[in-house]
Amino acid sequence: MFGGLVRVTDHAAWDRGFPVKYLLVREDDEGEEKYWGRCASVEGMFVDKVPPPREVLTLRGCTPTGPLRDALSPAAESTGLLGDVCVEVWDEQQPLQWWTLVDAVVLACRPNRSDLALVDVVVGAGVEEEHAWDHTLPVSPQFKLFAGTTTAASPVGQCVGVDGLFVSRGAPPSTPLHLIGCEAAEPLLAVLRRPGKWDRDWVQLWALDHLGEVMYRHNVALRVEKTRPSVLGGSLVDITLTDGGDDRPPLLARPVWETWYRGVPTTLNQWAPYSAQARSEWLDLTATRMSDQGPDRSGGTHHLDGKFVTDVPGLHCAMGEALVGPGGYFGREWNAFKDCLGGGFGVALPFTLVWHDADVARQALAGVVSDPDEGLSYFEDVVELLKRFGVTVVLQ
């Protein structure tokens, strides 16, 4: 049972010459998940995001730290590449909104006219925003800066303002999603009869492995562009949705899905050959099945194979396998990992973790610093967190 009234086993197979690969499920007003249909395939599930147009912005009155400070050093040999930088606008207590400066690069730097202890940094970047600014700017706003990925973002300073941030930006072009070989249940048939009525509603696509187990869930808006008799024949239909959403897996996730389509991994380190970004996609698939990991087990000794822990996603792949087995979930980044240590994810304290080949992660993650004030690398931070929760950590 996957919540509400949907039993996956009732819908994961049909009498056709090809398998069911997706279910369509929608949560009703009472929070119950209802079956809306099934289909043989989906075209457009894997899409690389189109980078936003490049802009020039000025970070005014900056107090730079970390990579941003290094990029501004007169003696630096850096080309000023910062990667993605998150800009958060805070009032006195909390962030109000954030933007991502995609592939940011330092173009120039000059002293701030109002305070010579501060600097103005001119950067080039694409700008991504979840929604247009709809707040009143505080009297004394704080603009906090973070660099890195969502799994290992680190503070790089703050500034008093960002020129060029609060401008109107058009919505990025949408990329459609094609549902191939659909057998629609009555609720979906109602959508196809009156598509405009459902423009603001959502449905989930549940991707199945070859055993009929759910691998991934994806939300998509019910904006139907067209419906036609399916290329697969019979009574099936093909449905094109105007916009498949901006949170679809990237193209590099496809081989990761192929591995998981054969079933939940049963051997260690199947994630190891993949890049850091593909390992992040692997972690997304482990998260889908976290509720199937069974009750917590306390005590005992767990062994972490550290030979391939060369990045942050790899650390969490290896940690999940060490604590709950191949394909297991135990957090995708530091905060989620900390939550898992509180119990409810298959392992309860106390226990012993033997980290084999720990020097691989120690060296590979030496430059990944989550908190400059603490000065710990990501590897050291994870080890200290484990110890604070009472885990006996043995580094080998």
Is the residue at 157 inside a domain?
yes
The span from the CA of 158 to the CA of 300, in Å, is 45
Residue 2 in this model has a pLDDT that exceeds 50:
no
Over 80: is that where the pLDDT of 293 sits?
no
Residue finishing a domain among 123, 138, 163 = 163
Q: Measured between alpha carbons, how far is 110 from 209 in angstroms, rounded to an integer?
A: 55
Question: Does residue 280 belong to any structural domain of this protein?
Answer: yes
CA 279, CA 356: separation in Å to the nearest integer? 20
Same domain, 44 and 180: yes
Q: What is the pTM of this model?
A: 0.84
pLDDT at 372 over 80: no
Cβ atoms of residues 224 and 239 within 8 Å: yes
pLDDT of 144 over the 70 cut: yes
Question: Are 363 and 290 part of one and the same domain?
Answer: yes
Q: Secondary structure of 178-203 in the HEC alphabet?
A: EEEEEEECHHHHHHHHCHHHHCCCEE
Give a yes or no: residue 385 inside a domain. Answer: yes
Task: Please name the residues in contact with 185: beta carbons below 8 A apart, sequence gap of 6 or more.
Answer: 24, 35, 36, 37
Q: Are residues 372 and 320 in the same domain?
A: yes
- Is position 1 within any domain? no
Mean pLDDT of 207-229: 95
Please tell me whether residues 15 and 102 are part of one structural domain: no
Question: What are 349's two structure tokens?
Answer: 């304290």
Residue 109 domain-assigned?
yes
Judgement on whether residues 17 and 136 belong to the same structural domain of the protein: no
CATH number for the domain spanning 315: value is: 3.30.370.10
Asked, for residue 380, whether it belongs to a domain, the answer is yes
CATH code, 140: 2.40.30
- Say if residue 333's pLDDT is above 60: yes
Question: Do 214 and 235 belong together in one domain?
Answer: yes
pLDDT at position 1, please?
A: 35
- The pLDDT, as a whole number, for residue 151 is 56
Final residue belonging to a domain, choices 98, 131, 163: 163
Cα–Cα distance between 35 and 5 in angstroms, integer? 8
Which residue among 107, 134, 163 closes a domain? 163
| Mean pLDDT taken over the chain | 91
Which of 65-69, 90-94, 312-316, 365-369 is most confident? 312-316
| Domain identity same for 136 and 240 | no
Residue 284 and residue 327 in one domain: yes
Domain count, the chain: 3
Q: Write the CATH number for 27.
A: 2.30.110
Same domain as 142, residue 87: yes
Instruction: Provide CB contacts within 8 A for 240, sequence distance 6+.
Output: 176, 177, 178, 179, 224, 225, 226, 227
Q: Which pLDDT value is given to residue 79?
A: 72
Note whether 279 and 388 are same-domain residues.
Answer: yes
Give pLDDT tens digits for 47-105. Answer: 998 889 999 999 999 999 888 988 887 765 667 888 899 999 998 888 899 999 999 99
Query: Looking at the structure, do residues 41 and 178 belong to the same domain, yes or no?
Result: yes
Which residue pairs, CB below 8 angstroms and at least 24 apart, start in 28-31?
28/4, 31/4
* pLDDT (tens digit per residue) in 13-48: 999 999 999 999 999 888 899 999 999 999 999 999
Do 115 and 180 belong together in one domain? no
Judge whether 284 lies within some domain: yes
Q: Is residue 108 part of a domain?
A: yes
Q: Range of 383's domain?
A: 267-395
